[in-house]
A and B are shown apart, each in its own frame.
Chain A
């Protein structure tokens, strides 16, 4: 005789199998669909590897060379160039800070133009959004190359490049924040006879300012990262020294610079995430 519990389980099983036939006995077509999707992705991957000239031989020699290099990286040491590296790091921070600040100031009015609920004109909304998309589609390093042609080599070009590419992102993020703002305060200001500027200043800005501030801080964090490499193309910061030392194969210097970058990024992350939590509260951190 079957134990009672298993009998019960059997009954439950039949009932469940009837209720969810797909789960218990997926049709052949559905199975083939899953298999085909996975096969397509893996196939494209293998094709890509072959097309790009991947070979295990090359990878093996590469990894052994990398092993040698990593061996040479220890112990990390700045040699006699510590003051140069520190200057480069200061430049990097300056690029990130001023670039973010400049972008925030410039895109603040732009965001109101791009927001649907402030400027009712559809065409203005559409054009400004596409304009911001275009700016955003160009990477910071590309902007850096362009600005080097304008203001010459050095960190100033880096500042302008970071600012330029962030205008695109900020314009979009800020205008989204403005569009999702509650309209009731605006109605309230309107009812007291406030002008359009009053509506923006007292109805919208108090709502969006915390969101905007936390986004600016978040971008400051990520710009610190991108400002560390902007020097590779000659736009100031620690990246210049990093690529120089790699080219000259001073591996202990390279590892020291990488450690400096890691420490700086970690410190900036720590300070800025503290500030962000203070501004918007811990619970909403995922929304940013």
Chain B
């Protein structure tokens, strides 16, 4: 099983100390653009990649999106006044880049997502994990995106609402429905992890 321990899952979302540490890492380099940029790349590239992958569901394109995001970040790093806003700033850039891509091109071809490649990790061959990934992939974009921001980036409903230009109430409704649908999909697939939750 490749589960994240519960404590770790909770910590990803709630640890203010970790957030402070990240902000310190970025802000200690405030005086030097290159160092500041490197800190942003080191701290946020993994989460941005994961967010990008769940947005576009295509690994090479997700990597390109992340690279393009940081390229744009480099060009306008001077406009980032508050280092505490760096994370949201980067996620917003990436989201806009993805939107630009969809606006300019037919979205048909990006459905060529490749989650087979994701399962290359020897620890991640678990059937439940694979089915849950497939289920997440089946969610409508409007449900998957806020859930991704909550689980991967640890954002609150209010922060997600700002990024997605929604109200916090709408975000709550969407993540609620996203989880409910995932549980139903998992139950339909016979996975016991959600038995008793939806029942």
- Do chains A and B stick together as partners? no
